[in-house]
Structure 1
Amino acid sequence: MSKKDAIFAEPLPQVSDFVFDQNVVEVFPDMINRSVPGYQSILQGIGQLTKRFAQSHSNLYDLGCSLGAATLAMRQHVSHLEQVQIIGIDNSSAMVERCQLHLQGYRSTVPVSIRCEDILHSELSEASVVTMNFTLQFVPPEQRQPLLQRIYDSLKPGGALLLSEKFRSNSPSMNELLVDIHHEFKRANGYSELEIAQKRAAIENVMRIDTLETHHQRLQQVGFSQSQVWFQCYNFAALIAVK
């Protein structure tokens, strides 16, 4: 059972950049469910899409796996395949350690390995499904297209990238609306104005979000034949790109 997220509940003399450290690990499930609208629906969709696109004799990757929620969603839908393995990668040692413990509680015939690595330098090969569940937005903008190119090159024909991201609108007024209703969502889930403001200050330097148009253009540029939003709630969306 995860603890309630109260990291930003008290006034901080200085708000530091957000990091995925042990404090975040302890409250992460509560934090993400209270902060990301539709998160559980996205996980269910990741499982369903993995079942559709995963291939025997291939690797499935969860890049930026955190505590392994998407890893588990993928794992539950591929037991019918031969010689498939799931590889979760995260650069937070605290996340990786807890993820490994978490996965031990779930029995499955599908092998899973969790690695503490920087996804910008991880080896990717023989992939049929690659998941990035709210990960790309934390990658430096200039590194996003090279990373997506490596993912595309690693995918087998017919393979898929499942990409979930917070996004911004091209329209300033629509963007303001999306931000406002997202904050209403957080208030409804018990976050105070102080928590919302301090979390926003902590994350603004480490999470740089793109427009949906930018995502689609970038996916096309690296070679994906088609991409589509399959889920959206407020300023959060999940896309699929097929090779």
Structure 2
Amino acid sequence: MSDASYRDAIFSTPLDRVARFSFDEQVVACFPDMIRRSVPGYGQILGMLGLIARRHLRHGARVYDLGCSLGAGGLSLAGQLPPEAFRYVGVDLSPAMVTRARETLDTECPDHAIQVMEGDIRTLDYEPAGMIVLNFTLQFLPPADREAVMGRLFAALEPGGVLVLSEKIRAEDEEENAWLVERYHDFKRANGYSDMEISQKRTALENVLVPDTLAEHHARLGRSGFSRAHTWFQLLNFASLVAFKDEAFKDADPSAPRED
């Protein structure tokens, strides 16, 4: 099949009714092209995962990639770290994504400890992990569920562990936010999307992708127990944060109240 068959053309024809966006077979087939042309800085964020892991991941520790889609996070880590350095667990709610990710990672990373499972990150039984990655995943959860998820992830991280959170964001100032959105649409136009495609996809994502502000992300991380969090990357209205679970929590009783 030619590369052109994998080009994202889902919204390239007029639709009488634009359905809610979902990660179905149609999206899976063109997902690499879609995310490359739709997410500013996606390649840079993936490329940093191995560098962050080299600095902060305990040797041989488990890495969760939540909302792993086609396993690009696993491919990036495996390309930068030796097989014994980590155990990768990719989790996605989409059966089509899971099937394709398994095929890709089994083929490309045969020597690494790789597992991909279908699951809901809100109810998953987490095992201790040295690193957790959420690349553009939290934004698809209902806002009311995000706090509990972050608390569960903090509890799953080992002392000294690190969480990488990448998200589409909205600016607190309405004028600034409008400017960022307009420049993002310019970015998509420069990558070959038409005004109709941009408009129809925006409609499909309405109430499906609900972005937070950077301040909301930082506040939530703090309430969940993370001692430090930094915004290490931002390009237009897309950002990535890194948060740390201090060694000081190693002997703490997780059920005991903490003083902020």
Measured against the shorter chain, the TM-score band is over 0.9
Distance 1:170 1:7 in 2: 31
Q: Which moves more between the two structures, 46-55 or 224-233?
A: 46-55
Tell me the SS of whatever aligns to 1:104: helix
Distance 1:72 1:161 in 2: 18
Q: Does the C-alpha gap of structure 1 residues 54 and 109 become closer, same or farther in structure 2, counting only changes over 3 Å?
A: farther
Q: Which moves more between the two structures, 163-172 or 99-108?
A: 99-108
Which residue is 2:46 aligned to? 43
Q: Is the 8 A contact 2:69 2:97 kept in 1?
A: yes
Letter in 1 for 2:92: D
**Largest Rg, 1 or 2:** 2
Q: Is the 8 A contact 2:75 2:109 kept in 1?
A: no
Tell me the SS of whatever aligns to 2:108: coil
Distance 2:71 2:9 in 1: 22
Distance 2:37 2:46 in 1: 15
Match of 2:180 among 175, 178, 183: 178
- Unpaired runs of at least 5, structure 1: none
Aligned-CA RMSD value? 1.3
Match of 2:226 among 214, 224, 227: 224
Distance 2:197 2:107 in 1: 32
Q: Is the 8 A contact 2:14 2:196 kept in 1?
A: yes
Tell me the SS of whatever aligns to 1:20: coil
Residue 67 of structure 2 is aligned to residue 64 of structure 1: yes
Which residue is 2:201 aligned to? 199
Deviation at 1:110, TM superposition (A): 2.2
Which residue is 1:156 aligned to? 158
Moved over 6 A (4+): none
Listed one character per residue, the Cα deviations across residues 116-160 of structure 1 (whole Å, up to 9, x for unaligned) are 111111111210000000000001111111101010001111100
Which residue is 2:239 aligned to? 237
Which residue is 2:148 aligned to? 146
Distance 1:32 1:107 in 2: 22
Task: Quote the sequence identity (%).
Answer: 45
Tell me the SS of whatever aligns to 1:99: helix
Which residue is 2:251 aligned to? none
Residue-pair matches, total: 242
Tell me the SS of whatever aligns to 2:17: coil
Letter in 1 for 2:147: Q
Listed one character per residue, the Cα deviations across residues 69-94 of structure 1 (whole Å, up to 9, x for unaligned) are 01211233332645x31100001000
Q: Does the C-alpha gap of structure 1 residues 57 and 190 become closer, same or farther in structure 2, counting only changes over 3 Å?
A: closer
Q: Which moves more between the two structures, 117-126 or 198-207?
A: 117-126
How high is the TM-score relative to the length of structure 2?
0.90
How high is the TM-score relative to the length of structure 1?
0.96
Letter in 2 for 1:9: S
Which residue is 2:91 aligned to? 89
Residue 15 of structure 2 is aligned to residue 12 of structure 1: yes
Which residue is 1:137 aligned to? 139
Matches within 5 A, 1:98-109: 98-109=100-111
- Unpaired runs of at least 5, structure 2: 246-260
